[in-house]
Amino acid sequence: MESKPPFADPVSVAHVGESATEALRRFHQHVLATPGLFARLCAEKEREGFVTRMVELGREHGCGFTTDDVVNGLNAARREWLERGIL
Amino acid sequence: MTTVDQLKGWVPIRIYWREGQPTVDWLFLGDQPLSEPFFEQSVARALRNPAQLLFRPQTPISILEEFAEMAPDLAPTGFVFHLSRCGSTLISQVLASVPCNLVVSEAPPIEHLLGARLRDPRITHAQQVVWLRGLVRALGRRRFAAEKYFYIKFDSWHLLHLSLIREAFPDTPWIFLYREPLEVLVSQRRLRGAHMLPGVVDLRLFGFVREDLATLSFDEYAARVLACICQNALRTHETSPAGRLVNFSELPGAIWGDLAEFFGADYSEEERSRMSDASRFNAKNPKVRHADDTAAKQREAGDDLRELEKAWLTDLYRELETRRLSRLWTGRMRGGGSASSRR
């Protein structure tokens, strides 16, 4: 895992359950630092398959979060993007 | 590996203020081209992929200073400014139809950066120039081996930032595209662009104060915004040999003809042929064939719009045309490029 993450947290991290926040944050940094892992996630173009793959890969890399956490993260990211010009 | 290296394949899609600090939002585009008529549409397509939506690095804006210092993958070939509703999307779509051109069309992060000082007075002019240089470097990173030329089509009101843009890129050729203002007013009345909705774009940019809004109709607001843009185009053109005035009537042939020459782009016969083919379709809706709407717009204009045009725009349009035609005639006398459309 990256010891000094170069990027700030994604907006979505702040919107998931408290227990999953740290795990998602670590996984987010790890994915951004690992192009192969990011490519595997990009290959999951459908939401359902992506959520399942996220949880699997998270577990493989020692980051425990649930499908609900990922769905909440996706919803938050989508909402934040759509509202960007309003807020 | 630096953060700039890590961001290879990533594109800045937004500059926003997060906890009071300007921040850049990055999207992975990889091998996905900017093929839609507008940058934002290509971004929207990419964001349908859940991974691209969720994994977006957020960096302080200072990252753009690092980009500004790096050697550009693609230095900007040309800048397209315009009056709006005058064929600028035709230019960008025709250019984007050949793989050797990277075309960034009305990218929101450019708007965010150009408007940054109005929003955040802590930002200095010098910072804005460097950040703009870095932002353009980041947008102009080569993602396809075929890319040779890099064009930016700005939002129409960005012409009011032309001196800043030229400070960042003094040698980049630029054009100002316009058409008969009455036709622009008719088009804006049908469907108003963001800058024609009072307050959406900062009023101060056009020299308005809030009290003006109580007395101005939408149409007069539009006429005065267009006048402000034309005035600035004329003023800057006077002192900028890198600038050229272009009338809608010169399109589309000028794109792969005179303008390519002006921008220093050398296209093959096949590329010119592809651009010509692309020009036959509606730029904003490429599934539909292009149809000239000049006569329809002239018919649609009522006396009220004609009066507004006369009050605010007729003299400016005449001056733009005088200068443009003067250059064309001078070129002809010297045996230079054609003055006519190559339609």
- Give how far the C-alpha of residue B218 lies from the chain's centroid of Cα atoms, to the nearest Å: 23
Output the DSSP codes for B245-289.
EEEGGGTTHHHHTHHHHHHT----HHHHHHHHHHTTB-TTSTTSB
- The pLDDT, as a whole number, for residue B339 is 38
H-assigned helices in B21-82: 39-46, 50-54, 63-69
Q: Is B45 an 8 Å CB contact of chain A?
A: no
- HSE toward the beta carbon, residue B57, CA cutoff 13 A: 25
Task: Select from B33, B196, B162 the least CA-distant residue to B105.
Answer: B33
Q: Residue B296 domain-assigned? A: yes
Q: Which residues pair with B149 in a beta bridge?
A: B101
For residue B299, CA distances in Å to A67, B183, B295, B302, B314 come to: 59, 10, 6, 8, 18
Q: Which residues of A touch B49 (CB under 8 A)?
A: 42, 45
By C-alpha distance, the chain A residue nearest B52 is A42
- HSE toward the beta carbon, residue B31, CA cutoff 13 A: 4
Q: Residue B340 domain-assigned? A: no
Q: Is B20 an 8 Å CB contact of chain A?
A: no
Q: Which two tokens stand for residue A33?
A: 């630092």
The answer, yes or no, to whether residue B212 has pLDDT greater than 60, is yes
Q: Which two tokens stand for residue B59?
A: 């960096």
Q: Is B49 an 8 Å CB contact of chain A?
A: yes
Tell me if B99 sits within 8 A of B144, measured CB to CB.
yes
B336 φ, ψ to 5°? -85, -155
By C-alpha distance, the chain A residue nearest B27 is A32
- ∠ Cα A14 A20 A22 (to 5°): 70
Q: Which residues of A touch B16 (CB under 8 A)?
A: 84
Q: Is A76 an 8 Å CB contact of chain B?
A: no
Residue B57: which of A32, A46, A81 has the nearest Cβ?
A32
By C-alpha distance, the chain B residue nearest A53 is B51
* CATH code of the domain containing B111: 3.40.50.300
**B52 min Cα distance to partner chain A (Å):** 7
pLDDT per position as a tens digit, A63-79: 999 999 999 999 999 99
pLDDT per position as a tens digit, B15-57: 999 999 999 999 999 889 999 999 999 999 999 999 999 999 9
Query: How confident is the model over A35-47, as a mean pLDDT?
Result: 95
Range of the domain at B293: 3-333
The answer, yes or no, to whether residue A18 has pLDDT greater than 70, is no
Q: Residue B105 domain-assigned? A: yes
Q: Residue B341 domain-assigned? A: no
CB pairs under 8 A between A and B: 63
Query: How confident is the model over B191-207, as a mean pLDDT?
Result: 91
**B160 min Cα distance to partner chain A (Å):** 22
Output the DSSP codes for B204-221.
GGGT--GGGGGT--HHHH
- The pLDDT, as a whole number, for residue A85 is 61
Q: Which residues of B touch A47 (CB under 8 A)?
A: 50
- ipTM, 2 decimals? 0.83
Q: Residue B338 domain-assigned? A: no
- The pLDDT, as a whole number, for residue A11 is 55
Q: Is B1 an 8 Å CB contact of chain A?
A: no
* Structural domains of chain B, count: 1
- The pLDDT, as a whole number, for residue B337 is 47
CA distance B265 to B248: 20
- Picking from A25, A74, A81 by the largest number of B CB atoms within 10 A of its own CB, the best residue to mutate is A81
The answer, yes or no, to whether residue B2 has pLDDT greater than 80, is no
The answer, yes or no, to whether residue A87 has pLDDT greater than 60, is no
For residue B145, CA distances in Å to A51, B74, B105 come to: 34, 11, 20
- Give how far the C-alpha of residue B184 lies from the chain's centroid of Cα atoms, to the nearest Å: 16
The answer, yes or no, to whether residue B203 has pLDDT greater than 80, is yes
Model confidence at A5, pLDDT cuts 50, 70, 90, reads low
The neighbour count for residue A38, using CB atoms within 10 Å, is 19
The answer, yes or no, to whether residue B343 has pLDDT greater than 50, is no
Q: Residue B128 domain-assigned? A: yes
- The pLDDT, as a whole number, for residue A17 is 52
State whether residue B102 is helix, strand or coil: strand
Q: Is B327 an 8 Å CB contact of chain A?
A: no
Q: Which residues of A touch B55 (CB under 8 A)?
A: 10, 28, 31-32, 38, 41
B4 φ, ψ to 5°? -60, -40
Q: Is A4 an 8 Å CB contact of chain B?
A: no
Residue B55: which of A28, A46, A81 has the nearest Cβ?
A28
- The pLDDT, as a whole number, for residue B251 is 94
Q: Which residue has the higher pLDDT, B336 or B92?
A: B92
Hey, where are the domains in chain A? 11-82
The answer, yes or no, to whether residue B10 has pLDDT greater than 60, is yes
The answer, yes or no, to whether residue A2 has pLDDT greater than 50, is no
Residue B53: which of A28, A32, A78 has the nearest Cβ?
A78
Q: Residue B115 domain-assigned? A: yes
Task: Select from B13, B153, B30, B46 the least CA-distant residue to B95.
Answer: B153
Task: Select from A62, A31, A21 the least CA-distant residue to B52.
Answer: A31
Q: Which residues of A touch B56 (CB under 8 A)?
A: 10, 77
- The pLDDT, as a whole number, for residue A9 is 61
- Give how far the C-alpha of residue B205 lies from the chain's centroid of Cα atoms, to the nearest Å: 17
Find where tokens 């993958």 sit. Answer: B73
